[in-house]
Amino acid sequence: MNRAVWLPILGLAVLLAIAAAADAQQRPYIGYVYPAGGQQGATFPVKLGGQGLDEVNQVLVTGEGVSAKIVEYLRKIGPQEVTLLREQLNELKRALKQGKGDELETLGYVARIERRLSEYVNRPACASISSLVFVEVTIAPDAEPGRRELRLATPRGVSNPLVFHVGQLPEVCRKPMTTCALQVLGKEELALRKRPDEEIEQSITPPCTVNGQVASGELNFYRFEARKGQRLVISAAARELIPYIADAVPGWFQPVLAVYDSSGKELAYNDDFRFNPDPTLLFEAPADGEYIFSISDAIYRGREDFVYRVTIGQLPWITSIFPLGGQAGALKKVEMKGWNLQDARLAMPPKDAPPGVYSVAARKQRYVSNPVPLAIDDLPESLDREANDDAACAQRVTLPVIVNGRMDRAGDWDVFQFSGKAGDRVVAEVTARRLDSPLDSMLKVTDAAGKLLAMNDDCEDVGSGLNTHHADSYLMLRLPADGTYFVHLGDAARGGGEEYAYRLRISPPRPDFALRVVPSSVSLRGRSSATVSVYAIRKDGFAGEIKLSLKNPPRGLFSSPVTLVSDQEVAKLSVRSGRPGADGPMALTVEGTALVDGRQIARVAVPAEDRMQAFLWRHLVPAEELAAVVQGPLSQAPPKRVRPASQAETKPQAAPARPADDKPKFTKQQVAGRLRQIKFLYEEWLITDEFNDRKLAECEAAQ
């Protein structure tokens, strides 16, 4: 092809690729919510940091009983805009001293500019959370306590979700941090936050929930009173609130809790609760008096997205349950262990609940404990019976079966015996860590002579997006001969105790699949299309086709079915809009169907966010909803400030004509950038009409 022909084509392709990439990057993003929750019946301010939030117009919170509205949006501004604002501020203050103009109007401009400048940092530590949104949240008195998800919506789409809690206790909230400055190597102290002494320690009255943010090198202290023998639960939520911080190692805020007596002696310390990075201290007060607890990052990092919630009080807390699940329709009594559980009742799933993993909690009077997972399956179930520590005293089971057991003591092994025929395929799978058990399982299968046939320690499950240690074991093997076989289960770290519970499935393969759809929100322009990625998690060797489509889509939205062929793990599903726009987000459901052993099964895709941990590992973090926005006239942001018609007809005073041989001081691009800055500041009510007109005239003169 002639060079003169293909060069313009290549240039057009590059431009289209750049435009597509820019459009793809427009999805709104929020990196933190502070505070990340509030008490039932309260109305309170919340600050969010993110990017791509221009024209933000809606706050979305899952569940009932929580409403929120946008109060203010502060986009990230640069040094030139700050110079303009400072110039305008100086002029306004001079006018106040001289008694010129409307005093109330001038004071309003001064307050807005000073607030804007107070949130400005020239080089933020993290640019992706430096655009700020301030909202007002109202929680109904009867709102169900527990975890929700909060998102922001703009005309271009819906943001990622972050955790937001509805609490039952009084809330204490520290003053929100301003944007942290970038730390320069060798000059880190210049970026440290300088706090007055009264902000370092706060006095609180348990039970309550305290909210804070940790800056670099910082510790927060809370002083409280306790009685001798009082059994206090001090539980932090941090990694739970923001699962992965992309530019941090190990990838999340790693909080540390410590308790001191009034003389400063350390009485208790915790940097995680078992394998959970969020710590919980179970503290029994040794005497009447004052105590202090502190929270910090394990290696003293910090930033405005190092957000925490710490709940303290003599509250119900579950440390373990047993068994970890049961058979659908025949779920038996579940025992719970923990603190302050006298007269507490475990709220169980409905008797007709289908197979799945459910969140259960203990209720004591009006308080609800921490939630714990409970699994329901449709296979026959049995309990582990001791002693079954080796093949000689192995517990005989009939397949298929799920055995509920635990490692009763350190170094314990549980051994199970079953009969099989040559060529049979058998699966042994442990579900423990995925059900919040500290067990780090190890599986072995041996024959009657003790010969090792298969072994597994850890098996990755990409469906458990928050697990970074996939400690549950899985193996599938074909039996070599008719005879007796043994499944050996132990803890890789030789741990044990009543909390080391497990569910062991021994059965023929049960081919199945699960789905994840990424991202958890999608934005479409009117009468156009967008794509999502659907990941298949194949189970027990299932390699069949999976047909993907939208299930019962909202009016005006369509998708063409896509098939994940044999062994394919991911596919793109296109969502099309046949409507010009929509008033607010809509919920979508992606479903996959497949033929398994002659019967058709359907699985709903779980929405998820693709997140990076510590610059390297990627995780699919589950979300509650797949939200879609169709951009159009009905999804526009509120109108911005415009000049009144009487003033719009009056042009700014023209600048003096420039001599013909006088070259412009600025390029057209520089002038265009300056005009945009002036336009935005004017629309945000940060500069007056007179200042705006003068700066426009200067731009005209500079061209």
At 237-266, the pLDDT tens digits run 999 999 999 788 889 999 999 999 999 999
Cα–Cα dist 251/615, whole Å = 8
Average the pLDDT over 128-156 and give the result: 95
Looking at per-residue pLDDT, the higher value among 45 and 191 belongs to 45
Q: Are strands 162-167 and 131-139 parallel, antiparallel or unpaired?
A: unpaired
What's the full length of the chain, in residues?
703
At residue 633 the predicted structure's pLDDT band, cuts being 50, 70 and 90, is low
Cα–Cα dist 461/463, whole Å = 5
Please report, to the nearest 10 degrees, the dihedral formed by the alpha carbons of residues 370, 376, 382, 386 taken in order: -20
Residue 19 has pLDDT above 80, yes or no: no
- The pLDDT assigned to 374 comes to 97
Cα–Cα dist 251/253, whole Å = 7
The answer to whether the CB of 464 falls within 8 A of the CB of 434 is yes
Average the pLDDT over 124-139 and give the result: 96
- 559 Cα distance to chain centroid: 28
574-593 pLDDT, tens digit each: 999 887 766 678 899 999 99
Average the pLDDT over 18-33 and give the result: 67
Give alpha helix (H) positions in 632-667.
645-648
The answer to whether the CB of 366 falls within 8 A of the CB of 145 is no
Residue 409 has pLDDT above 60, yes or no: yes
Average the pLDDT over 474-480 and give the result: 97
The answer to whether the CB of 541 falls within 8 A of the CB of 550 is no
- The pLDDT assigned to 238 comes to 97
Adjacent-strand bridge partners of 430: 504
Q: How far is CA 78 from CA 32, 113, 116, 117, 631, in A?
A: 22, 14, 12, 11, 29
Token representation of residue 690: 């007179």
What lies within 8 Å, CB to CB, of 475 at 6+ separation is: 427, 428, 429, 443, 445, 454, 455, 456, 459
Cα–Cα dist 496/501, whole Å = 9
- Helix 689-702 vs helix 668-683: crossing angle, to nearest 10: 170
Average the pLDDT over 368-379 and give the result: 96
Which of 27, 301, 1, 352 shows the shortest CA–CA distance to 161?
27
To the question of pTM greater than 0.85 for the whole model, the response is yes
Token representation of residue 430: 């442990």
- The pLDDT assigned to 584 comes to 72
Q: If you compute the radius of gyration of the chain from its CA atoms, what whole number of angstroms results?
A: 30
